[in-house]
Each structure stands twice: as structure tokens, then as C-alpha cells.
Structure 1
Amino acid sequence: MEFSNKGNFEQALYELKNDKNNAVASLFDIQKKQEGKLNGVIFTLKNNYAKDFDSTDASSNILKNFNPSYNATILNKLFNQGARLIATTNLDEFGLGGTGEYSNRGLIMNPLDNNYYVGGSSSGAAATFSKNIGFAIGSDTGDSVRLPASNIGVVGFKPSYGAVSRYGLFAYASSLDTVAWFSHNVNDSILLAQTLYGKDKYDLTSISIDIKNIDLEKPKKIAYLDCFENVEEYVSDSYKNLIKKLENEQIQIEKITPNKDLLNAIKIVYEVISFSEASSNLSNLTGVGFGVRKEGKDWEEIFQNTRTNGFGFMVQRRLALGSFYLEKDNQEEYFVRAQKVRRLISDWFNKIYDQYDFLIYPSSPSIAPKKNEIEKKDYQYMSYILTASNLVGNPSLNMKLGKYNKMPFNVSIDSKIYTDKKLLSYGLYLEKILGENND
């Protein structure tokens, strides 16, 4: 198995130098080794991964010109396999946003049509991901790789929690954060998985998962989510056509009726847990240990001035809410209750994964939204269905399902946690069934 789309450095560099979409943080030409399974493959890195050769500010003013003294584990692994870094990409500040609106460099829009959002905190990675770049590393805490992957019509993959070391990834929500990536096809995503998976002594949540010798495998039993009433008609039609294709392949396909009460709780559960964990993880950014200090008459005023000037409004709001949820008198009412509902959500999905090879569903209810139209329609749980796999921790893979008004949308497949090898093998099969949708 070889990497199928290595990219073109000169053409990619030209595109990145001429970026007018606020997506590029820095440009490089770094290739540490001239060998390995990723030899010469051009890639970009979301600017919330530590690197010892350039600043890493997570698109936040509070970390302006911050230079880590080490490389993230995944970056060393990519270099060891001969990958060639061309750029770092901007993001919604610290990965906390979900639309591409919250980078300190400015709004990042969809590269296919700048009237549409690109989505996800990995917005810069998606906005620069052309055929001239082999893969793009992002991070996925709620849907921050897979949603923009759907909005630009490429493959997005989020591994099982712990399958890839998070050492060097700036923490947002530690129980949800996952190294994730964009690729042009499932084959290339598999090669990235085989490069990046593995236990790391610097990340105690990392584990070893077998990811070797992945071949195309036809699933025997698939579950599909009955969500037709909560997506646009063009998404529903493409989704139904895919289900018919799979049925014609003599695969057993069964409908899953959504537990709407539970699925509609995904958003609030995610917000309570992620905001709470973020308020803890970013608490050291005070201008003393870390952060660009803004002086004051005492330590309290220094902290307040530093964080007021350093954080954007979106981050300030989320951290304030997170601190509220973690207040001693509020923990039981909000944080602990959210964790209990998270367990119910996990149990519901795991019951499906125990009975089927994978669950299939549309990655989003529509194509990317236009400016100022993000919340005009109420799709209920389908607006944040991708976030479920972060709460559960299972692997999630998506790829292009169709187009509407020249804008793409994806379909997702999810399986039980740590069954990444199987899911990717089924991904090869589904990619073949989808055919021209992925051209």
C-alpha cells in the first residue's frame, strides 16, 4: 500500500503564499528523512501542536510568539516517515470554536465558495486542503475535522480516543480531544493511521491498537440511522440511494430509530463537559507561567487584564461558563449530571455497535451554511450528530456522499471503540460503492 496523493510542493506553496482566507499561519519546507511510507508527502499542521522550530499560538493573542521547546509526538512520527511539512494552519482560537469565525487572524471561509462557512475549529486545515497537499493534520474535539471534511467533500477521520498520542496537542477538553486528519481517500488515511497510532510514554491515555494489514472488507450487517426528517431533502435522497446500493450488495441493513430525547442532549452534554475541561486546561494562561502579560496593580488585576486582552470573546464566554459549571455548588447540578447523561449516550451507541459492523448516517443535515445562516433551521440532533463519537470515544470516518448547488456533503460510518482497523477496512469498501462521489 502506497500513498496515492503525495501533493505537489511548488504548486501548494504558490497557493499558500497567495492565501487570502486568513488560513495560513507559517510556511516551511521541512523534511527530516528521505525514506519511509510517507516519503515526500506534503502536509499541513494545525497550529495547536507544539513544534520546536516555530511559534505555536493556537490562533490566540495570549500565546503570541510562544515557542515550545519540543515537537508533538505525531510530528516526530511524520518526520520519521519522510513527510514534508509545508505550512501550519490557523484555527478557531484554541480549537474552541466550530465555524472558522474565531481565529485571531480573521474569518476563514469555505475554499470552494467564500459565501459559505468551512466549519470546524480545523478551519484553516480544511480551507487550504487542495489536491496539491497530501494530507492535513487537525484535531477533533466535537467534530472539528469531520464537519469541515463534509463541507469540502474530502475524507475526514477521527480515531478512537487514545489510539494516537495527544502529547504536544494543546489541550481543550482532555476527555474529548483527538488527533484527526483530512485525506483525499481512505487508503491514504490508513497509511496515516499506521504511522501515527501507538502507545506513547508521554501520554498516559494512549494505548496500542492493531492497525496493520488493512484490506478492503465487505460488511455483513449494517445499521442506518433513521434521520430522514431531520436533514435536507437532497441529503435524504442521496442517503436513501446509498442504502439501496448496500442492500443490492446483499448486505443485511437494519433501521435504527433514534432516541430523540437522548440524541438531542448531545449538544448540551458536550458543552458542559468541554467548557468545564477547557476552563481547567487553560487556567495556567495568566501572564505568569504562560501568556502575554498585561500589567496591573496586583496579581488579581494582572490575571484579569491578561486574560481579557489575550482571549477572544468566544473563549472568554466558554471559560466563564466552564468555571460556573465547576463551582462547588454547581458541580452536581451541571458537570456530574452531564457525565451521567454522557454514559447513557455511550450505552445507547455501544448497544448498536455490539450488534452491527458499523452505523451509517449523514455527516451533516445540509451543505455548509452560508454567512449568517448557521442557526436559521432547526435540524435538532443532526446538527451535532458527529459529536456523539467524541463523547463515546469510538472511531468515526466520513467521505463524500453527494453535492447540491455545487457544494458537497458527506456520509459517516462509526464502529465500536478500538475497532479502528475494521472500520477502515469497511471504509475502503464503502468508498468503492460510492464510486464517482469521491472523485
Structure 2
Amino acid sequence: MITLKEALKLSKAELASLKEELKAKIAAKAELNAYVDILNVGEGIPIAIKDNIQVSGWSVTSGSNILKGYIAPYNATVIEKLLANGMSPFGRTNMDEFAMGSTTESSCYGKTLNPLNHNCVPGGSSGGSAAAVAAGLAVAALGSDTGGSIRQPAAFCGIVGMKPTYGRVSRYGLGAYASSLDQIGPMTQNVEDAAILYDIIQGYDPKDSTSADRNDGTVSDKLDANVKLKIAIVPDYVKDASEEVRKAYAKAIEALKNAGHTIVEKSLMDPKYDISAYYITATAEATTNLARYDGIRYGNRVEGENLKDTFLQTRSNGFGPEVQRRIMLGNFVLSSGYYDAYYVKAQKVRRLIQEEYNKIFEEVDLILTPVAPRTAYEFGALSDPLEMYLSDIYTISVNLAGLPAISLPVDTAENGMPVGLQLIAAPYAEQTLFNGALSLETQLQG
């Protein structure tokens, strides 16, 4: 598959030919269910779009029955930026319903298969975007990351996935799951492509009240794999990871040492606190955000005997089991008598997590950790929702702290599945993050 950097040099005629080639490939690999619709906007480089990002005139459902029939009336800011930079939104990719999941199984369109092994999950919630890039069905894609939803599927499918600093990329036009955690980011074939796509979508947006009003410039034109960095590793953090993940971690550390980086050991608080703080915060915000889906203003409606019954029938039939579960959890932690006991405490823990990272970044440039405790697993392997929640153990603290992070493939397990690790940087240190990732990628390939 042609890279994004290479595609930037194509003529209009060559881009048109590329799109026809992609359509043929997508049709030939329809069993992957990576795309739920093939649409095209403009003449630019085709970029696959996760089904929770508004594209004017497209059906956008966030993988949910409750939004079947909804047509986006406007473009998300990231879509406007793509169009302004010679790129073309090209097809909706499958996702877990409202981005709530780690396997892309909860979509109303059915599950997406991992292109490297059809018996395995592609990760989630941006599993469709990851599968499309990994299978050569997309030059690059956009995903969203609330607790690892770009980085984990990127790791499972053997591609690069990057989550920017919170506020660095506009959320205007992104279907909200947890507003203080959500971020749109690039999913690409390599680190340089990720930097190029990040440069295009990043920047201040007055339409997003949480957008960072700052100009740090672009990163792709200043990429430097030879910059020497101080990188923290967290030995205790990987003790519960699988053998192949621990092996990949050791391999990456050795590669970073060979590249001339300084490696130091640090510790992070027990990730069980991350899990607790995250799922209290995320479900509370999801409950509030999803209250708007009532069948009255847009989307599907199930008529009841009265207004209350219409609300109940619409939401009961429109939302899937996982979304309903998280709405119930969110209502519980926000309810009278439990708000202080759960939600307020979770915000205090969140602050401690942020302060812990800030302290580490006073001494180092980057932190290296796993993305997931294991490689892509077979469908049905995690039947208990709690097991699925625990699979986010290495990614969610990054969202709680609002940090940038990038996942890239480091090794291949004995079963042939890729092993991805992530580098984490201080807020707005995307240049350092991409430089470190490019250095690791270069060392491993070289």
C-alpha cells in the first residue's frame, strides 16, 4: 500500500485511480467488515473515517441502532482540515457502539475481523480504522481515543496509532462518549505518516471550548530520529503482562539503548486505581452525553403510549447491552448519596495520576509502556465485561492525564500476531513523542 507521504505526490488522475483500486480491494475483503459504507468527498487523498466523526451528507451512527437514519448536516473540524489540505474523507469505518468497547464487536453492523487472523479481534473501539489500514484498504485513517481506542487496535493490527494531547485536536463534530477524555488521532502505516496526518488535523478551534489556544507549529517537517532522549521504563508495570509482551518490552528497551537514548527506571501507581478512576469518570460523562438520544430530535424512534414510554422504548431498543451497562453505571455513580463516594473520589485520584506523570516528566522526555497485557485474542475470549475493562490497564491513565501517546509495532508473537508498545510524552510534547517513536521504528527496522 502506498504511504501517505507518497500519496501527497500523486496527481488528480493518479488519486482517482487509487480510489478505484481501494474500492476493489474493499469489495474483495468485505468479510473483514472494516468499512460500513464507502463514500467519497472531494478529489484528494482518501482517508478512512471512524463512524463517530461528522461528515456532511453522510450517515453517521457511531455504530448504534439509535442513530440509524441520521445524516450529518455539517463537517467536523478535522474533516474541514482534511479537505483544506488535499485529502478526501473516504468511507465510514466500523467501531464499537459509541466507542464503548475494546473489540469492535458491539457495533450494530456486526463485528470487524482482524486482517492478520480472522479468528482474532482487531481491538477497539477504532477497530474498523485499524483493520482498514492494516489490510491495505486505506492509506490512513482517523480514529478516536477515550481510553486507548486508537492505540490498542493499532497494537492488535500491527500499525501506528497516535493519541494527541487533550485539546490539541478539535472535538467539534466528534460523537461524544466522555468529553474530558475523547481525542481524535491518526492511524497510519508508519510514524512519519502519523506525524503528517497529525499536523493536518491539529490546532486551535474556537468551536471547541476545550481546544488549546496555542501554536506549537508542525512536527513532520522537524522529525529527527537522531535526537537523544531520556526515556523511562516501568519494570513493575509489566509484571502482569504476557510473556510475548514482556519480551517485546525488553527488545524495545535494547533498541532504544542501541540508538543512544538514556534509559532510567521509574514507578507508577498501581494501575487498579487508573481503572477505577477511569470507569467512574467515563461512565458518568457517557450518561450525560447519551441523554440527548431520546428519539425526538434525531435518529430512530420507537413510539410508545406516551412521551415517557417513547423515551424508554427508544433507548431500550436503540442502545446495545454494553452502552446500557455503562449508562447504568454512570447513573449510579452520579446518583444522590453516591456522587461524593465515587465520582468526587475518582476526580481526586485523577489529579494524583496527573501529578505523578508531571513529576516523572520533570526528569525524563518519554515513558515506554505496553499498550495491552496481551496480543490480539480470539473472539469470545473475554466474555466477562470486567475482563474487557481490565484489558485497558496500560492505556487509560494517558487519557486521564490528558497526555499524548503513540503505539507502534515492536515485535511479533509466536502465534504471528503483532506486539505493540507505546511511548508517552508530556503535554504538548508531540515533537519529542514523534522523534522518539521514529527513532525506535528506525532502529527496529534497521
Q: TM-score, normalised by structure 1?
A: 0.92
Contact 1:62/1:291 (8 A) holds in 2: yes
The alpha-carbon distance between structure 1 residues 124 and 132, as it changes in their structure 2 partners (threshold 3 A), is closer
CA offset at residue 229 of structure 1?
2.1
Are 1:30 and 2:30 matched, yes or no?
no
**Paired amino acid for 1:269:** A
Separation in structure 2 between the aligned mates of residue 133 and residue 380 of structure 1, nearest angstrom? 29
Are 1:9 and 2:10 matched, yes or no?
no
Higher mean alpha-carbon deviation, 20-29 vs 140-149, is at 20-29
CA shift digits 1:50-83 (9 cap, x unpaired): 1222211111111111012111110111011111
Count of residue correspondences: 426
Query: 2:245 — aligned with what?
Result: 235
Query: 1:267 — aligned with what?
Result: 275
Higher mean alpha-carbon deviation, 331-340 vs 250-259, is at 250-259
> Structure 2 residue aligned with 1:147, among 144, 152, 161?
152
The alpha-carbon distance between structure 1 residues 230 and 381, as it changes in their structure 2 partners (threshold 3 A), is farther
CA offset at residue 270 of structure 1?
1.0
CA offset at residue 414 of structure 1?
0.4
Separation in structure 1 between the aligned mates of residue 289 and residue 260 of structure 2, nearest angstrom? 49
Separation in structure 1 between the aligned mates of residue 390 and residue 265 of structure 2, nearest angstrom? 17
CA shift digits 1:134-190 (9 cap, x unpaired): 211110001111000000111110000000111000110000000012111111111
Separation in structure 1 between the aligned mates of residue 312 and residue 78 of structure 2, nearest angstrom? 34
Contact 1:160/1:417 (8 A) holds in 2: yes
**Paired amino acid for 1:67:** I
CA offset at residue 241 of structure 1?
2.5
Are 1:210 and 2:206 matched, yes or no?
no
Separation in structure 1 between the aligned mates of residue 335 and residue 163 of structure 2, nearest angstrom? 32
The alpha-carbon distance between structure 1 residues 119 and 249, as it changes in their structure 2 partners (threshold 3 A), is closer
The alpha-carbon distance between structure 1 residues 338 and 401, as it changes in their structure 2 partners (threshold 3 A), is same
Separation in structure 1 between the aligned mates of residue 31 and residue 299 of structure 2, nearest angstrom? 28
Query: 2:10 — aligned with what?
Result: none
CA offset at residue 85 of structure 1?
2.7
Aligned-residue RMSD, C-alpha? 2.1
**SS at structure 2 position matched to 1:162:** coil
The alpha-carbon distance between structure 1 residues 180 and 288, as it changes in their structure 2 partners (threshold 3 A), is same
> Structure 2 residue aligned with 1:194, among 187, 192, 199?
199
> Structure 2 residue aligned with 1:102, among 83, 106, 109?
106
The alpha-carbon distance between structure 1 residues 358 and 382, as it changes in their structure 2 partners (threshold 3 A), is farther
> Structure 2 residue aligned with 1:374, among 382, 395, 401?
382
Contact 1:361/1:412 (8 A) holds in 2: yes
Query: 1:36 — aligned with what?
Result: none
Mapping 1:342-357, distance limit 5 Å: 342-357=350-365
Separation in structure 1 between the aligned mates of residue 380 and residue 296 of structure 2, nearest angstrom? 38
The alpha-carbon distance between structure 1 residues 5 and 116, as it changes in their structure 2 partners (threshold 3 A), is farther
Are 1:335 and 2:343 matched, yes or no?
yes
Query: 1:398 — aligned with what?
Result: 407
Contact 2:112/2:122 (8 A) holds in 1: yes
CA offset at residue 380 of structure 1?
11
Mapping 1:154-165, distance limit 5 Å: 154-165=159-170
Contact 1:193/1:211 (8 A) holds in 2: no
**SS at structure 2 position matched to 1:245:** helix
Query: 1:306 — aligned with what?
Result: 314
The alpha-carbon distance between structure 1 residues 176 and 195, as it changes in their structure 2 partners (threshold 3 A), is same
**Paired amino acid for 1:238:** A
CA offset at residue 417 of structure 1?
0.9
CA offset at residue 313 of structure 1?
1.1
Query: 2:143 — aligned with what?
Result: 138
Query: 2:172 — aligned with what?
Result: 167
The alpha-carbon distance between structure 1 residues 375 and 357, as it changes in their structure 2 partners (threshold 3 A), is farther
**Paired amino acid for 2:418:** P
CA offset at residue 378 of structure 1?
8.0
CA offset at residue 382 of structure 1?
7.1
Structure 1 unaligned regions, length at least 5: 33-39
CA offset at residue 264 of structure 1?
1.5
Query: 1:280 — aligned with what?
Result: 288
Are 1:62 and 2:66 matched, yes or no?
yes
Query: 2:91 — aligned with what?
Result: 87
Q: TM-score, normalised by structure 2?
A: 0.91
CA offset at residue 90 of structure 1?
1.6
Contact 1:295/1:302 (8 A) holds in 2: yes
Separation in structure 2 between the aligned mates of residue 330 and residue 275 of structure 1, nearest angstrom? 14
Separation in structure 2 between the aligned mates of residue 92 and residue 380 of structure 1, nearest angstrom? 14
Query: 1:35 — aligned with what?
Result: none
Are 1:246 and 2:250 matched, yes or no?
no
The percent of aligned pairs where both chains have the same amino acid is: 34
